[in-house]
Amino acid sequence: MALLFKTDASRADDWVCAFAEQAPEIELRVFPELGRAEDIDYALVWQPPPGLLARLPNLRAVFSVGAGIDHLASDPALPRHLPLVRMVEPGLSEGMSEYVAMSVLLHHRFFLDYQAQQKARVWEEIQQVPAAERRVGILGLGALGLACVEKLRPFGFQLLGWSRAAKAVSGVTCFHGTEGLWQMLPQSDILVSLLPLTPATRNLLDRRVFAALPRGAYLINAARGGQQVEQDLLDALASGQLAGASLDVFQQEPLPPDSPFWNHPRVLLTPHVAAMTMAKTAVAEVIANIRRFEQGQPLHNTVDLERGY
Ligand code: NDP
Ligand code: OXD
């Protein structure tokens, strides 16, 4: 059995070791060393060159190294008849829930204001808000959204969540569909995006959404930059409608050197690192899925390409 593996070259060694330890029976072909394309049964990839997967005639399933599959869905030559599996693994959930909890707490405790005060050598108190009075709205109640709910729960925030289909999550006020979004926004002091990038979510975070939030709300986008209309976001920050933002993702990545976000005093910025797939735990999930598939059982975490996630 042969598996083509393609990810950032800098992180490949951990994956090669994890496969060697956990599934020595799988012959790993690390891109760009393809060998005979006919031999490849499975592909585990992050941002493969467009058309690469279509050149593997006996491919049986495609696995994404990341949770998001927009990098694959945008390839017009993607073999759409094959099962496509997104990454769901404990390392990603842990990383994302840490990032979101950290960002929520920073904004909840007015970190941006205290950072500005520190620069100006100002010693001044800002009235603390009890967590029970702070409402955190999470867009996306999937694998990562739910992991964040669990991480945030002990702090005592009021938790709200939005999904496509109706959901019931203990301790979370749940909304769904377009109507649900407009109900949830005015009740979200901190809005977190953990949505996949799909035609329905592209440019979702725009001036109308920002205007619907309470004045002085915060945005945390740990999902995809394609969801945020960046000029609208800058305008909302300039007017004070948004008091600040934590942005891990951008329309253009790497963020261009002349982007106004780099030096923005109300923005905390990270280079798309909110959560990284961890080789050891991810390989365990991929192997379990392949073994299931080889025994004629359905794969877990397959993507519905029609709905885009
Ligand atoms: P899931 O597929 O498990 O969950 C997606 C959630 O979004 C579901 O709750 C789904 O609703 C909801 N959703 C999708 N479309 C809509 C819509 N149109 N309206 C309302 N709700 C919608 O994804 P994950 O939680 O695993 O990952 C989420 C995203 O996080 C990834 O797609 C990726 O883009 C991003 N990500 C970013 C990382 C980073 O480092 N910055 C790292 C990892 C992931 P329903 O439950 O009804 O299906
Ligand atoms: C992912 C990502 O989708 O790293 O997993 O962005």
- CATH number for the domain including 40? 3.40.50.720
Quick one: average pLDDT of 133-147? 98
pLDDT number for residue 9: 73
Q: How far is the CA of 120 from the centre of ligand 2 (A)?
A: 37
Mean pLDDT confidence for 269-298:
97
Asked whether the predicted pLDDT for residue 116 surpasses 90, the reply is: yes
Residue 281 lies in a domain: yes
> pLDDT digits over 8-45, tens only?
877 789 999 999 999 999 999 999 999 999 999 999 99
What does the pLDDT read at residue 10? 78
| Mean of per-residue pLDDT scores for the chain | 97
Q: Are residues 106 and 208 in the same domain?
A: yes
pLDDT value at position 128? 97
Residues of the chain with pLDDT > 90: what percent? 98
Q: Look at residue 188 in the predicted model and tell me its pLDDT.
A: 99
Residues 119-146, mean pLDDT to the nearest whole number? 98
Which residue's C-alpha comes closest to atom 5 of ligand 2? Answer: 66
For position 277, what pLDDT does the model report? Answer: 97
- Rounded to an integer, what distance in angstroms lies between the CA atom of residue 136 and that of residue 108? 10
Is the domain of 76 the same as that of 97?
no
DSSP state of 141: -
Considering the domain boundaries, does residue 308 fall inside one? no
Q: Is residue 205 one of the residues assigned to a domain?
A: yes
Return the biggest CA–CA distance within the chain.
68
Nearest residue (by CA) to ligand 2, atom 1, is: 66
Q: Is residue 25 part of a domain?
A: yes
Specify whether 128 is located in the same domain as 189.
yes
Strands 267-269 and 242-247: parallel
| Residues 39 and 144 reside in one and the same domain | no
Sheet with 61-64, side-by-side order of all strands? 27-30, 2-6, 40-45, 61-64, 84-85
Q: Which strand ranges, in their side-by-side order, compose the sheet holding 172-176? A: 172-176, 158-163, 135-139, 190-193, 217-221, 242-247, 267-269
- Are both 82 and 122 inside the same structural domain? no
Q: Answer yes or no: is the C-beta of 244 below 6 A from any ligand 2 atom.
A: no
85 part of a folded domain = yes
Question: Would you place residue 167 in the very low, low, confident or very high pLDDT band (cuts 50, 70, 90)?
Answer: very high
Q: Which ligand is nearest to the CA of 66?
A: 2
pLDDT tens across 79-91, in order? 999 999 999 999 9
Q: Which residues are catalytic?
A: 224, 272
In sequence order, which residues have a C-beta less than 8 Å from that of residue 147 and are 6 or more positions away? 93, 94, 96, 97
- Ligand at minimal distance from the CA of 143 is 1
Q: Is the CB of 66 under 6 A from ligand 2?
A: yes
The domain tally of the chain equals 2
Please tell me the number of the ligand nearest to residue 270's CA.
Answer: 1
Q: How far is the CA of 193 from the centre of ligand 1 (A)?
A: 8
| Distance in Å, CA 144 to ligand 2 centroid | 11
Does residue 117 sit in the same domain as residue 79?
no
Distance 239 CA to ligand 2 centre (A): 31
Does 190 score more than 90 pLDDT? yes
Q: Is 85 exposed, middle or buried (0-12, 13-18, 19+ CB in 10 A)?
A: buried
Task: Tell how far the Cα of 196 is from the centroid of ligand 1, in angstroms.
Answer: 4
- Rounded to 5°, angle at Cα 46 from 71 and 16: 170
Over residues 110-117, mean pLDDT: 98
Q: Which domain holds residue 126?
A: 92-269
DSSP secondary structure letter of residue 29: E
Q: Is 272 in the pocket of ligand 1 (CB under 6 A)?
A: yes
CA 141, chain centre distance (Å)? 12
Q: Are residues 96 and 237 in the same domain?
A: yes
- Mean pLDDT to the nearest integer, 146-166: 98
Q: Tell me: do 96 and 206 sit in the same domain.
A: yes
* Structural domain includes residue 300: no
Tell me the mean pLDDT in the region 97-110. Answer: 98
Q: What is the atom index within ligand 1 of the atom nearest the CA of 181?
A: 20
Same-domain check for residues 124 and 149? yes
**Same domain assignment for residues 8 and 157:** no
- Cβ-count burial 13-34 (b if 16+ within 10 Å, e if not): eebeebbeeebeebebbbbeeb
Judge if 227 and 99 occupy the same domain.
yes
Q: Of the residues 96, 97, 277, which should be mutated to test ligand 2's pocket, given the most ligand atoms within 8 Å of the CB?
A: 277
